[in-house]
């Protein structure tokens, strides 16, 4: 249940609602969406709470929510939540945001070459894993903290915001200190302590769909983060397991408009993991934008043949540059524009 407050409700009005609800036995969570505040109530007595709650000053109405993931659901907002990553870079607004870069940070030269190249092509956010969740324990596991320092240096040099993955609670602090967006990967979508830690972060969280997760399971994972108070969650469709093995995963294009129907959270697509083949990344990137994706996550490597992870699905810089030229038309087909680069493109 949500107690919806009038726009610009005063702290005293909100405080009175919270005190009254707690006296009735509810747990409460203040949900701030722009200038509007709602107070979520959990765990209290079944049935209607006291009529007095609805008549407290500043209260517009009480909304009963039957959704298993109320904070992720449309009950909160009929629009898309705008998440300002850094000043001027918004995911979930009118413009589509492209996050691009290598699967893994490998060394300074590789990362800087990728960062300069994707920025010149018009990307606004640099991706790159310092902590890598690899299927095999014998595969490159990432550079860890040294990789984070390289990401920081790349941001200083290019002005690009950074998205990078946290694989566990122990390394979350270090990742959060550097990342403008913290990624939670597909393998960790149901790592509940990690989700709760992400919920206590002030950073936006890019939550990737699990390998075989339903949309409901994805939204329940998002709910873990939201319920801890972090409303800045970006959902990511990155393909799911299927019987087909020509592609690495099956990019579920219908998930994009479905998630928009079910949730106010912004949705981005990852056509790189969603196909596993660089030749398919462009068509699926365009399709994802046409389906209403709020952004893209694309793996780009200066020398894909030398990549320590995910080379076969990584585009080189020239292919990425050509893709970026094709994307405005796809974005326009969904009534969107491409986000302008935050820094002058050289």
Residues that bind ligand PEP (CB under 6 A): 103, 129, 133, 185-187, 208, 238, 273
Q: How many CA atoms does the CB half-sphere of 248 hold within 13 Å?
A: 20
First to last CA, the chain: 51
124 vs 183 by CB, closer to ligand PEP: 183
76 vs 98 by CB, closer to ligand PEP: 98
Per CB under 5 A, the list member of 310, 339, 341, 342 interacting with Mn ion is: 310
Give the 3-state DSSP-derived string for 304-328, with helices as H, strands as E and coil as C: HHHCCCCHHHCECHHHHHHHHHHHH
By the 10 Å C-beta count (0-12 exposed, 13-18 middle, 19+ buried), 279 is classed as: exposed
Residue 185's binding partner out of ligand PEP, Mn ion, none, with CB under 5 to 8 Å set by partner kind: ligand PEP
**Nearest Cα residue to 140 out of 308, 299, 307:** 308
Q: Please tell me what DSSP assigns to residue 81.
A: P
DSSP string, 202-231: SS-EEEEPPTT--HHHHHHHHHHHHHTT--
Q: How far is the CB of 172 from ligand PEP (least distance, A)?
A: 16
Site string for Mn ion, 85-104 (x = CB under 5 A): ------------------x-
70 vs 239 by CB, closer to ligand PEP: 239
67 vs 141 by CB, closer to ligand PEP: 141
Q: How far is the CB of 96 from ligand PEP (least distance, A)?
A: 19
Q: Give bridge partners of residue 205 from the DSSP assignment.
A: 182, 233
Q: How far is the CB of 33 from Mn ion (least distance, A)?
A: 32
Residues in the interface with Mn ion (CB under 5 A) total 2
37 vs 186 by CB, closer to ligand PEP: 186
103 vs 284 by CB, closer to Mn ion: 103
Query: By CB under 5 A, what part of segment 152-211 binds Mn ion?
Result: none
Length of the chain: 346
Q: How far is the CB of 308 from ligand PEP (least distance, A)?
A: 12
Contact between 269 and 256 (Cβ < 8 Å): yes
Q: Using CB under 5 A as the criterion, which residues of the chain lie in contact with Mn ion when the complex forms?
A: 103, 310
């Amino acid at each position: 249940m949500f107690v919806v407050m009038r726009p610009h409700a005063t702290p005293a009005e909100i405080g009175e609602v919270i005190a009254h609800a707690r006296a009735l036995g509810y747990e409460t969570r203040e949900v701030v969406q722009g200038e509007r505040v709602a107070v979520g109530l959990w765990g209290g007595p079944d049935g209607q709470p006291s009529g007095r709650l609805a008549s407290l000053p500043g209260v517009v109405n009480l909304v009963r929510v039957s959704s298993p993931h109320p904070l992720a659901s449309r009950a909160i907002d009929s629009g898309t939540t705008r998440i300002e990553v850094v000043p001027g870079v918004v995911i979930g607004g009118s413009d589509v945001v492209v996050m691009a870069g290598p699967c893994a940070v490998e060394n300074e030269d590789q990362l800087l070459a990728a960062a300069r190249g994707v920025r010149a092509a018009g990307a606004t956010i640099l991706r790159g894993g310092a902590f890598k969740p690899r299927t095999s324990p014998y595969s490159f596991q990432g550079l860890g903290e040294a990789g984070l320092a390289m990401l920081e240096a790349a941001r200083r040099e290019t002005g690009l915001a950074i998205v990078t993955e946290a694989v566990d609670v122990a390394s979350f602090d270090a990742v959060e200190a550097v990342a403008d967006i913290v990624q939670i990967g597909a393998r960790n979508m149901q790592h509940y302590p990690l989700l709760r830690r992400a919920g206590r972060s002030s950073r936006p969280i890019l939550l990737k769909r699990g390998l075989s997760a339903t949309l409901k399971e994805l939204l329940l994972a998002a709910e873990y983060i939201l319920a801890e108070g972090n409303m800045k969650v970006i959902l990511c469709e990155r393909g799911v397991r299927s019987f087909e093995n020509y592609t690495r995963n099956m990019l579920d294009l219908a998930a994009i408009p479905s998630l928009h129907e079910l949730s106010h959270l912004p949705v981005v697509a990852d056509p790189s993991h969603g196909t596993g083949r660089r030749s398919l990344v462009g068509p699926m990137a365009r399709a994802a934008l046409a389906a209403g994706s709020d952004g893209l996550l694309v793996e780009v490597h200066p020398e894909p043949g030398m990549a320590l992870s995910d080379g076969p699905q990584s585009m080189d810089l020239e292919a990425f540059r050509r893709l970026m030229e094709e994307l405005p038309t796809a974005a326009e087909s969904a009534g969107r524009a491409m986000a302008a680069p935050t820094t002058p493109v050289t």
